[in-house]
Structure 1
Amino acid sequence: MRFLQIILSLSLCLTAITGDYIVFESKYSSSQVFRAFADSSVHASIGLLSATLFFTHEISISRYASVCNIIFCTILSSFIDIDHVMEAKSIYLKDMHNLKRGIFHCTTFWLIVSLLFILYSYVVKKLNIYILTFMIIIAYTSHHIRDGNRRGLWLYPFGHTPPISKFIYVALIGILPNIYAKIFTYMENGFYRHNVVNAGYKMVV
């Protein structure tokens, strides 16, 4: 399993580097249609590999549930760009050029959403919601970090950070799913301990 995790981490880095070349430096990059579809495909591919890497760690979940969560993460990783359509109020690519960032590209927005989901999963004791939260985190962080290589992160109300260097961006893409899995496992243990304590308390009462 460790070998698979290394392969997937390296694949993520390679996908980021190769994907950026295809989108921005290939002979087809002058086409807005090509860049739009290629860029979305790269985001989706990174989301797919990131979620798959996450589930190679010791996550207590069925294979079917893992596949469903991986599909969700893949779609969301690409779907974030839908706010370009919302901002342009148009489905035509020419109208989406050089627009300001939409809400789904605001990292602060997703941080709040993630926090609310984690708190909700903790209160209602729903492990599936807890896992879904990490899929959301993987999707938006991979998307934002990749975009951040060119435009920085949008941390409302503080503004934008400087662009993330290529090396740091690629390294984070390959490392973060592993870190998220460790955080998930650590918090999951606390989650279940909390359930056991509560159950015991209710029995005593």
Structure 2
Amino acid sequence: MPFHLMVYIRVVLTTLVTITCLLGDNFVELTEHPVLRALVDNGTHAVIGAITGIAFVIQFYDKITNCFGWSLILLCFLTSSLIDLDHFIQARSWNLEVSFQDATNLLRRPFLHCTTIPMVIFSVFIWTSCLNYFKTSLWLGALFCAFFTHHTRDAIRRGYWMCPYGTTNALSYIYYVLLTIITPYLVYYTYSLCSSSAVQRLLGFSTKNESRYSSYKYSVV
């Protein structure tokens, strides 16, 4: 893909995720009906996850198939939304109003909102990237993007919950938007660094054989 086209795609995706953050967050604040607020809040998480997934996948456009690429995007989309299911578990109710009220109670943070989870995922992602497990690395990278962008959006109200160590200060809005934008690119560059020949030689791995999945091609429809 030409460099100027990649830059154009990144600008478009950055604009889309910024607009989604602004519109979604403002709509949640302005909406008084708790069920509608819960739906919009979760929908905003899902759309941000989908856009983040696209931004991550497009970096590997020449190495993966269309099917695998869309699977990664779908994983980001669904995970970003389904993380909030733990509110129902925490509230012990499938009532949207009850679960949304539970979501705003800082004393009852549900288990999937523990930011230690994406940190562990990212650590395993680095390990698999260094070992050249290409497809596994991309699954983990996409999963991390979904978790971390969801937690980052929640952090503007209550900070990151780094269990068992406690909670950070609330994140400023500008940092939330910037972190959401750069997350997929940071994950991609981390993979590129870990799988580089210099790191492979440093770790004592052979660089003669590429990952068994590197022959997969991703042709843009």
Superposition TM-score, scaled by structure 1 size: 0.85
Contact kept, 8 Å, 2:72 with 2:142, in 1: the verdict is: yes
Name the CA distance, whole Å, in 1 between partners of 2:51 and 2:172: 22
5+ residue gaps, structure 2: 1-5, 211-221
Name the CA distance, whole Å, in 2 between partners of 1:113 and 1:189: 21
Name the CA distance, whole Å, in 2 between partners of 1:151 and 1:134: 25
Secondary structure at 2:170 match in 1: coil
Name the CA distance, whole Å, in 1 between partners of 2:183 and 2:209: 32
Contact kept, 8 Å, 2:130 with 2:195, in 1: the verdict is: no
Secondary structure at 1:55 match in 2: helix
Name the CA distance, whole Å, in 2 between partners of 1:82 and 1:22: 21
Whichever residue aligns with residue 46 of structure 1, its letter is I
* 2:91 corresponds to: 88
* 1:108 corresponds to: 116
Equivalent pairs counted in the alignment come to 195
The 1:121–1:187 alpha-carbon spacing in structure 2 relative to 1, beyond 3 Å, is closer
146-155 vs 53-62, which deviates more? Answer: 53-62
Whichever residue aligns with residue 55 of structure 2, its letter is L
Alignment of 1:54 with 2:59, yes or no, is no
Whichever residue aligns with residue 18 of structure 2, its letter is C
1:22 to 7, 20, 27: 27
Whichever residue aligns with residue 65 of structure 2, its letter is S
1:89 deviates by 1.3
Whichever residue aligns with residue 11 of structure 1, its letter is L
Name the CA distance, whole Å, in 1 between partners of 2:71 and 2:78: 11
Whichever residue aligns with residue 135 of structure 1, its letter is A
Secondary structure at 1:56 match in 2: helix
Secondary structure at 1:86 match in 2: helix
* 2:185 corresponds to: 178
Secondary structure at 1:57 match in 2: helix
Name the CA distance, whole Å, in 2 between partners of 1:140 and 1:89: 22
The alignment-based identity, stated in percent, is 28
The correspondence of residues 1-205 of structure 1 with structure 2, limited to 5 A, is 1-25=6-30, 29-58=31-60, 60-96=63-99, 97-98=101-102, 99=105, 100-116=108-124, 118-119=126-127, 126-189=133-196, 194=205, 196=207
Residue-by-residue CA offset, 1:89-112 (whole Å, 9 max, x unaligned): 110134322341111100012322
| Cα RMSD, aligned residues only | 2.3
Residue-by-residue CA offset, 1:28-68 (whole Å, 9 max, x unaligned): x1111111111111101001111101122245212221111
Name the CA distance, whole Å, in 2 between partners of 1:110 and 1:198: 30
Contact kept, 8 Å, 2:20 with 2:48, in 1: the verdict is: yes
The 1:40–1:195 alpha-carbon spacing in structure 2 relative to 1, beyond 3 Å, is farther
User: Which has a greater percent of helix?
Assistant: 1
1:189 deviates by 3.0
Name the CA distance, whole Å, in 1 between partners of 2:96 and 2:195: 43
1:133 deviates by 0.5
Contact kept, 8 Å, 2:129 with 2:194, in 1: the verdict is: no
Whichever residue aligns with residue 67 of structure 2, its letter is Y
Name the CA distance, whole Å, in 2 between partners of 1:121 and 1:178: 15
Name the CA distance, whole Å, in 1 between partners of 2:14 and 2:20: 10
